[in-house]
Amino acid sequence: MNGYDQVFFNTPFVIKTGKDSLHLCCCDCGLIHQVGVRVINNRAVELSFKEDKRRTAQFRRHHGIEGSSTVVFGRKHK
């Protein structure tokens, strides 16, 4: 699927990569994030997400996706 693996809603998946980051694409709106992955003390996994505006625009143009829909979830940090 254009360099992206397809995953499905409510279905677990495993990310296998030798890198410390990867790109995640939403198939509904074409939003692409660069996802950073870091293991802390062999116990916790830290994830960071940053929107990749260039890849998002390129993907949306290629697939004819107009506009955007953004869903924000998670918890607020104090």
| pLDDT tens, residue by residue, 29-56 | 888 888 888 888 988 888 898 989 999 8
Q: Counting Cβ atoms within 10 Å, is residue 23 exposed (0-12), middle (13-18) or buried (19+)?
A: middle
Q: Does 35 reside within a domain?
A: yes
Total domains in the fold of the chain: 1
Q: Does 38 reside within a domain?
A: yes
| Position 7 confidence tier, pLDDT thresholds 50, 70, 90 | confident
Residue 71 has pLDDT above 70, yes or no: no
| Residue-number span of the structural domain to which 44 is assigned | 21-63
| pLDDT value for 54 | 92
Strand order of the β-sheet with 44-51 is 21-25, 32-40, 44-51
| pLDDT value for 1 | 47
Give the distance from CA 59 to its chain's centroid: 13
Percentage of the residues of the chain whose pLDDT score is greater than 70: 78
The whole model's pTM is what? 0.60
Q: Does 3 reside within a domain?
A: no
Q: Does 77 reside within a domain?
A: no
